[in-house]
Structure 1
Amino acid sequence: MSIDDEILEKFFEQIINKSESPKAGDPGLTLSQLLNSFLEIRPDPIAEIFYNFRTPIGIFRAITTQGMVHSVELIDLDTKGFRSSKPKMPIQAELEAQYKAYFAKKLQRFDLPLAIESLSPFTQKVLNLLRDLPFGETCSYKELAIQAGKPDAARVVGGIMARNSWLIAIPCHRVLTVSGKIGNYSALGGVDTKVWLLRHEGHRIKNDEIVKRK
């Protein structure tokens, strides 16, 4: 049984015990007090797991636990009136610092502890290869499949890109079709967001294609 399972079990035991008739003169704990007690002893309270921060393209939400990043997604394109959350864990401060550096064109590669261990070995291989694709460079789904050892798995690679949970940190926006077309993008804003990121990295785009550098 994990630590969280043990804590949950104790929490619900307290609820069950509370439902029994209290002793005379003993008001017991309210449900709200029990819940607050549970959140205080839980290793990663809900308030610390979700972390929102502002970027030039919108509001991002990261899901973190101590020392690990489970996802980073774009949740809103409108930043008007939004204030970033205050980091509650070192990993959140580091995450936001790296994203700020990326948008300032001062970061070539993200160095964050991403929780990819639960994914299939092939998916992990594809994502790790993509993490090493430098700022300003691109590749095709086909090329990524070949590098991962499965030349015929371009469609599978496309599916992995569509399910990428770490926007920009794993730069699926740098992956194009074999013909050089921009292709699809599953993040909020779709292709417009992908085009913005590619232009941010120095690419010229015309007719949904990257203009080759001379």
Structure 2
Amino acid sequence: MDSEKMGKYIAKLRKQKNMTQKELADKINVTDKAVSKWERGKGIPDIVNLEELANVFGITIVELINSGKDNADADKNYADCEEEKRELALYKEEIEKYNMRRKKLHKSITIICVAVGIALITAGIYFLKNPYMQTSEAVRGSIDGPTAVYFVKKQPAVGNVISCITGIVCIAAGVALTVKDTRNTSKIR
């Protein structure tokens, strides 16, 4: 795969569709800098992005990889060649494995964010309701036996409010990640 030829081909297809780099990037969930990098031949799309690019341009993955050369022959040979069918099946299997790993990672991150958020909010609310913290303890003797004396200090509410806000942000980040992952999954299919 020649990155410069592929880059020129992607630029040509993008211009034929009257799209800017930003519009193409938005359709396949990458940055416009990534599209620019591909078009300049400084890199090639990831395995997941190849399928999305082919769908956007209405071409086959083989045509995209071959940078458009011998399109008719490539399509005819592709339909007849069992080896290429197996390679495409392996490619799709790799994409599916990648997507499953990404989903598991995102679920784990979401669970951690929500758990940390709940803990921060709970601690913040608890200490807002109970602002007095024991700072020291002294035991003194008296005529009827030892007596414990506790010294307490009122904690400022600012830290507890910040804890609650941080918890809300953590939960929101987890939910946003889940929503983004759900949207990306629906776009791929």
Q: TM-score range with shorter-chain normalisation? A: under 0.3
Q: Which has the higher helix share?
A: 2
Greater Rg by CA:
2
With a CA cutoff of 8 Å and minimum separation of 6, indicate the structure with the bigger relative contact order: 2
